[in-house]
Chains A and B, each alone.
Chain A
Amino acid sequence: MRFGAIFLIALPIAAQHGRYVSESQHPAIGDPKAIAEGAKLYATSCTGCHGPDGSGGRGPNLVKRSLWHPLRDEAIYNAIRNGVPGTDMPPTKLPEDQTWNLVAFLHALIGPASDNSVPGDAGAGEQVFWGTKAGCSNCHSIRGKGGRMGPDLTNIGGSSPLAVIKESVLEPSKDLMFLGNEGATVTLKSGKTMKGIARNRDNYSLQLIDEKGELHLLSMSDVKELKILDHSPMPGDYRQRLSQDELRDLLAYLSRQVARPRGTIRKANN
């Protein structure tokens, strides 16, 4: 499936990404038609300030919001209709139904990627993920297969918006939040050297997953030297390493990774 614009399939799962807490009853929310209409409106009216993918510019980033107050569909609706006083966000003169189309699009953009029909061939993306060119599975696991060094991606589509997944692939060091995922090289007093990920550390102990995925619980009294990477251990060259199609397909595959697929309950419980 290849689509020019992001749009949403039927929305059985309420958007649960981080701070987006509301489950609006408005029929536009989750309606693919409304979302497609909203995407057009967004492209013409909003990208100038909020960026084509919602990542911000003159206006705030809509996907990775800096404010931690709960966000609701109704609040987005009111912000679009009335603007935000004291800022450059103007009131719009959009009719009610079009405003709701725009809200539906934003809801889809901010919600987990698995709620959206992300463009790309997930089957081809699966090959990219498990293949040697990208090498994702050397460090990341999905459903118990793959490496242990990087974060588990079994629920990445169920927990993160597409824009966040994309940024993590292309610019892994952007956020500088590596706690629990620090690249580390340890030299023990015995002379032995280990490389891996520091899952945790303080001045007294170190919990390290090595390159083979084995966990080591080390006492700092046994450690001679510890080198910590000042950037994410994830390669930062995926824009060059993968073609645009491969990247798109990889994102489509990752977006479909959900820990709790619907409809798994068995009949026996009735």
Chain B
Amino acid sequence: MTRSALTAFLISACASAQVSFEDISKGPSENWLTYAGSYPGWRYSPLKQITPANAKLMSPKWVYRVPDARGLRMSPLVYKGVMYITNTNAVYALDARSGRLVWQYRDARAKGGGVNRGAAILGDRVYFTSSDNYLTALDRQSGALIFSRQFADVEKGTTSTSAPLIVKDKVIVGSAGGDGGMRGFIAALSAANGDEIWRTWTVPAKGEPGSETWSGFAEWGGGATWLSGTFDRETNTLYWTTGNPWPDFAGTPRLGDNLYTCSLLALDLDTGKWKWHFQFTPHDTHDWDAQSWPILLDMEFRGRMRKVVLHANRNGFFYVLDRITGEFLRGTPLIDKVTWASGIDDKGRPVLIPGKDPTPEGNWVCPSVKGATNWMGQSYNPTTGLLYVLTLEQCGMYNSSSQEPVPMKNFAGGGATEEGGQVLLRAIDPKTAKRAWEYPMTGAGRMWTGTVSTAGGVVFTGDDDGQMLALDAKTGKLLWHFNMSETLTASPITYAVDGKQYVAIASATAIFSFGLFEPAEPLTPPKVTFGK
């Protein structure tokens, strides 16, 4: 069999394959099958063609300009040589070797705009959610519509932005809109037909446990779930974070801890029932959603092996919790300048510094509203034992308003500024919370780019000035950069086709795919004829 015939056969054989739960459980390979790469949320790939020694030879392989895109936040999926990307209310399937479009699906009837963070894949189907809360399943090869079912009412302030997480036969979806007043939830829908299997609300209804932590506004209290979660197969547990309480900057109308906002929830996959919760920021008044990846890890902690969940939080602290019990193990500063709390006490509660709430004239607090980190993808690399986190050293002015909060009018009870500051990629040893290295960036503190790291020993990320970077995972040494010339607000992935490793990332308006430089081979286009 010639090479070309073999290639054609292989691609043909692959095309009829189906994505299984087992495939997703194995984590990245040549494929990238779920937003964070793997259920524990590592964004780590075993690919090792690109190394610190050869990363200097990286070059762009193709660019796909996404129609109507303005600020892409999506992380691509790749299966058997096809890349699936999303924009608002749209999915595109691309030939992952060439960037050529295979099919597109654009939902012209979807109401509203907003961002979309990506798709999910299972069997022969690609899933995504629309901004008006429809879960849509498409045929993986043709883009044909299989079903489109609404799971939440946009009239209640809820929209959808996150990539669904598929576990076994369930599509887990979240809820967005917490800055305008809504009630957050996580729901499990049937992958077969979109039927609802369970729904767990993140803010208690009147009379339910936790409702005593709200003096008012619980029915619009937020706790949105706008980032995908992670999953522990061994214990059948979902880990999902919740967003800010509403109104964001006005604490007085909602006195109390405002459970279960700014929290991490551990839920049973089959029933959605609560196993435990941990609230990072009780009674948040700075819009510090807990949306950052709950990374699952088995590691030695104070002399014994523990099953932990790591959480680098927007509020400025880096947490380690026991993921079986929810027990707080450690909370340490993630960034250098935190002025609202002097630390975390031994129960996991912040030790507040008085007078840091928003005020009518403005209150200068660190970190800024954007947070010490945010939803951008972090990476844990088992070969270096390091966690790679984009952090922001930035402070801001927090203002309160005396205006009556009105749900769904996007009134947030005040406002906040983001001023100056610097983004630094930090490599943290989760065992000690010490920094192994850091890579300071230039820029205006506007990026939302995450990371992916590899067995080849490279961390890929974007910087705060629109550059794609490759860094040595052990030392943080810059290996290669490429000017994409747009503010980067998405996280990279890595994949392989025909034995060649690629690294893909969305800029504001396009998908770029990079690989090692290869001289162009002369190609004589084949004879093309038109006729009957």
Chain A residues near B150 (CB, 8 Å)? 260, 264-266
In the complex, the answer to whether B523 meets A260 with C-beta atoms within 8 Å is no
The answer, among B12, B147, B527, B528, for a CB contact under 8 Å with A216, is B12
Please choose the segment from B1-9, B229-237, B390-398, B466-474 that sits at the chain A interface, where 4 or more of its residues have CB less than 8 A away: B1-9
B160 CB to closest chain A CB (Å) equals 12
Choice from A155, A158, A228 contacting B528 with Cβ under 8 Å? A228
**A50 at interface by CB-CB < 8 Å:** no
Contacts of B153 in A (CB 8 A): 265, 269-270
Please state if B196 and A266 are interface contacts (CB–CB under 8 Å).
yes
B16 near A214 with CB under 8 A, answer: yes
Asked whether B525 lies within 8 Å of A209 as measured between CB atoms, the reply is no
- Proximity bits, A184-209, B CB within 8 Å = 1, else 0: 00001111100000011111110101
Interface residues of B in 136-173 (CB under 8 A from A): 137, 139, 141-153, 156, 158
Q: Which of B107, B134, B526 contacts A220 (CB 8 A)?
A: B526
Residues on the A chain within 8 Å of B527, using CB: 224-226
Closest to B201 in A: A268
Cβ of B521 under 8 Å from chain A: yes
Determine if A222 and B12 form an interchain contact, defined as CB atoms under 8 angstroms apart: no
Question: Is A87 an interface residue when CB atoms closer than 8 A count as contact?
Answer: no
A130 CB to nearest chain B CB (Å): 15
Number of CB contacts from chain A to chain B under 8 A: 155
CA distance A224 to B8 in the complex (A): 13
Most buried by B among A199, A215, A230: A215
Cross-chain contact B12 with A214 (CB below 8 angstroms): yes
Residues of B within 8 A of A266 (CB): 150-151, 196
B409 proximal to A (CB < 8 A): no
CA distance A270 to B150 in the complex (A): 13
Closest to B149 in A: A264
B144 x A141 contact (CB < 8 A)? yes
Bound form: Cα–Cα A158–B144 in Å: 15
Sample 21 A-B pairs with CB under 8 A, ordered by A number: A144-B137, A144-B139, A144-B145, A148-B142, A152-B143, A180-B103, A189-B4, A190-B5, A200-B100, A204-B525, A205-B97, A213-B142, A219-B4, A222-B4, A222-B7, A222-B8, A225-B528, A228-B529, A259-B148, A260-B148, A266-B151
A contact residues vs B (CB 8 Å cutoff): 16, 141, 143-144, 148, 152, 154-155, 158-159, 180, 188-192, 199-205, 207, 209, 213-231, 259-260, 264-266, 268-270
Task: Point out residues on B near A: beta carbons under 8 Å.
Answer: 1-2, 4-5, 7-8, 11-12, 15-16, 81-82, 95, 97-98, 100-103, 107-109, 134, 137, 139, 141-153, 156, 158, 196, 199, 521, 523, 525-532
In the complex, besides A215-B102, A226-B526, 14 extra interface pairs with C-beta distance below 8 angstroms are A148-B144, A199-B101, A203-B525, A214-B12, A214-B15, A215-B142, A217-B81, A217-B102, A220-B523, A227-B531, A259-B107, A266-B150, A266-B196, A269-B153
